[in-house]
Amino acid sequence: MEQFAGIKAYLAERAAKVEAALTRCLPAEWQVPSRLREAMAYSLEAGGKRLRPAFVMAAAEAVSGKAEAADAALPIACAIEYVHTYSLIHDDLPAMDNDDFRRGKPTNHKVFGEAMAILAGDSLLTHAFYLIAQAARQGAVSAEAALDMTEELAVLAGARGMVGGQAADMLGEQGITTIEELEYIHLHKTSDLIVFSLKAGARAGGADKRQLDLLETYGRNIGLAFQIQDDILDLIGDEKKLGKKTNSDVTQNKVTYPYLIGIEQSKAQVEMLTQEAKSAILEANLPLPEKLLEIADYLVHRDH
């Protein structure tokens, strides 16, 4: 029996739930140009780990102590996947990372053209806020919680959050020389949305301020560890498992953790961040902390 079989099955089950809901989130009766709808659906359905939605649901469960809290948080889980998907579409554009493939499939602009890819991204981002408002409308979360989530998503996905990280990445190309600059980029490009996911799920589960702060610590560290692990896997990983060409960052002379501090120290860093993340969860004294702890361990040992 494989070590992480349990948590992998848990994540797969969550991913399946989210995937079943994702395209339904854009009402079928809405009059939307069909090519735009197709472009949105194409990237929503392109697979991936669905890690952020899983964090939303796991946090709701952990904080409330009830497994059914995960289902109530599903609209919020979809909202965050809309935001994540938009960010991938825009990041892949020729003017940005200029990627032709993602998860083994042609990128959005390769299939639908640049204009439609930009607009599909814009629509997905916009619709995430609709889904949060709807969650309140349908009674899944309180109006107050929905407003908190709206505000926090706007901060963590915007100029001071994820987009700020991507901008720093673009501006710093070739020019990054310190671990601090690289950390800034990863914290914003990756950790911010993970932090949002955890706090939104926790809010749906009724978390207090102290729990929210500790989940933020967990999310920041997990996000950073995840990104460093990605850098490591990109260098040593198996092409097929990753679904993209390994070593692509090195080919592009992209500055990574292994490049700056070496493979061994990068691995030690991932281990340390994971421990700090788990400590925060233990300190939060949640009724159902297990899944969040297991996800942390799984992510650091994953091979793709």
Q: Least distance from C-beta 83 to its own copies, angstroms?
A: 9
Considering the rule CB under 8 A, would residue 132 count as an interface residue with its own copies? Answer: yes
Helix (H) or strand (E) holding 201: helix 192-204
Q: Which of 153, 182, 202, 212 binds its own copies (CB under 8 A)?
A: 153
The tokens describing 268, both together, are 């030690």
Residues 6+ apart with CB under 8 A from 85: 43, 44, 46, 124
Judged by CB under 8 A, does residue 45 bind its own copies?
A: no
Identify residues 50-89 at the interface with its own copies (CB under 8 A).
none
Q: Does 46 bind its own copies (CB under 8 A)?
A: no
Query: Least Å distance between CB 184 and its own copies?
Result: 8
Contact call for residue 160 and its own copies (CB under 8 A): yes
- Termini Cα distance of the chain: 19
Phi-psi region of 170 (alpha: psi -120 to 50; beta: other; left: phi over 0): alpha
C-alpha 302 chain-centroid distance: 16
Q: How far is the CB of 44 from its own copies (least distance, A)?
A: 12
Q: Which residues contact 198 (CB under 8 A, 6 or more apart)?
A: 55, 56, 59, 215, 216, 218, 219
By the rule CB under 8 A, 235 interacts with its own copies? no
Pick from 119, 224, 228, 277: which binds its own copies (CB under 8 A)?
A: 119
By CB under 8 A, residue 170 contacts its own copies: yes
Query: Closer CB to its own copies, residue 33 or residue 104?
Result: 33
CA 142 to chain centre: 24
Per CB under 8 A, the list member of 21, 46, 155, 235 interacting with its own copies is: 155
Instruction: Kindly state whether residue 252 participates in binding its own copies, applying the rule CB under 8 A.
Output: no
Q: Which two tokens stand for residue 83?
A: 């935001």
Residue 177 contacts its own copies per CB under 8 A: no
The CA-atom distances, in angstroms, between 111 and each of 24, 49, 122, 286 are: 22, 22, 17, 45
Binding site for its own copies (CB under 8 A): 26, 30-33, 35-37, 40, 90, 93, 95-96, 113-116, 118-119, 121-123, 125-130, 132-134, 136-137, 143-144, 146-148, 150-151, 153-155, 157-160, 163-164, 166-168, 170-171
